[in-house]
Amino acid sequence: MSGSTRAMSKFRLAVVQLHVTKLKADNLSRAQKLVKEAAGQGAKVVVLPECFNSPYGSGYFAEYAEKIPGESTQVLAKVAKECGIYLVGGSIPEEDEGKLFNTCSVFGPDGKLLLKHRKIHLFDIDIPGKIRFQESETLSPGSSLSMFETPYCKVGVGICYDMRFAELAQIYAKKGCQLLVYPGAFNMTTGPAHWELLQRARAVDNQVYVATASPARDESASYVAWGSIPEEDEGKLFNTCSVFGPDGKLLLKHRKIHLFDIDIPGKIRFQESETLSPGSSLSMFETPYCKVGVGICYDMRFAELAQIYAKKGCQLLVYPGAFNMTTGPAHWELLQRARAVDNQVYVATASPARDESASYVAWGHSSVVNPWGEVITKAQSEESIVYADIDLQYLADVRQQIPITTQRRNDIYSVNAVNESA
């Protein structure tokens, strides 16, 4: 659908947080009621939560599973048509040829099924003393991307754990999606740590809207470089980070790949490309402790760079950077935490101290973030030193507990380097 056919630049989106019980009929009845209420308030797109028709748990999937079409999806089709809305039907356990899937059905204003998205990344985690959950014990994964058109925008669909995989969101955005929806049911361990972080990461990385729909909580239910300098080389200027070893030898020289060209009306305009040239390669170096990947400031906004570094064995990513007083409070910490939790690495950022009298005022707040996405040390705006102990066993533990490194669907998507430094 071409942009010219989309007359509306704004539309109302409703996200339903449903109280899910063991009574399927009650779940369906309340879902219908809340969808109608949302439509009555002007919503054009309504999103239901993951497993909206059944309790979430491996022990329930087979019991509540349905064919599609079936009882639950027929209800969704009917209410979508009655209300004249696009209805993202959360997800239900779907049975097909003896296999069970966690499936999201989307219906158009005419009640017709637009797409059926089967959850690609199954939720298999083991966090000792907190939670163990293995969707793969009962469910099978989907094997395709799912997008649909509306008169408002193109929408990409994922389910819950799919949100941890930045590649999926990147592909959706690349294919023109402006809204990503993730029906999901994060738990009381991963929820407070990662639920909002991942949504904000997907949104700011891809500059899209992100909507998540969760079941309501039922307490009774069974569930972190040296810095950078302008470098002149053959008449060109680069924003360059140099790394030296204990013997004083130059280990690598990283030229900033992504130049900081932004224009936020009424706040800040900055165009690095007016004076600088971009680098054209990745930069990594080995230490006795771990492999380190290097980026500079604006490079941090590009999730693909961090993904490649992690894929190549980097356990620490360093970003000397100087975010400003507009982007700093909005995105500085968010991007660090996103790069860390997406790739299960440590992320360190080093900022100039803030100088209110300067023509460009830096945000400050140099930080280190651990692989769980927690800020473990952070400076304020003044000149200071912050310290962090990098625990690679902790990194390994996080990767074992939530093993996204081995769960990536390379049969569906892949992020690869085109050019690397020697």
> Beta strands 86-88 and 43-47: pairing type?
parallel
- Among 253, 258, 178, 187, which residue's Cα sits nearest to residue 219? 187
Catalytic residue among 160, 241, 297, 314: 160
Tracing tokens 């080995």 back to the chain, one arrives at 286
Sign of CA dihedral 181, 156, 160, 346: negative
d(CA 49, CA 87): 11
Residue 378 DSSP SS3: strand
The structure tokens listed for 270 are 């900055």
Rg over CA atoms, the chain: 23
Asked whether the beta carbons of 224 and 393 are under 8 A apart, the reply is no
Residues in the chain, how many? 422
Q: Which residues pair with 183 in a beta bridge?
A: 213
Question: In angstroms, how far is CA 143 from the centroid of its own chain?
Answer: 19
Sign of CA dihedral 49, 205, 114, 43: positive
Catalytic residue among 24, 116, 119, 256: 119
State the DSSP code for 50.
T
Residue 88 DSSP SS3: strand
Catalytic residue among 50, 95, 167, 231: 50
160 is catalytic: yes
Question: Which residues carry out catalysis?
Answer: 50, 119, 160
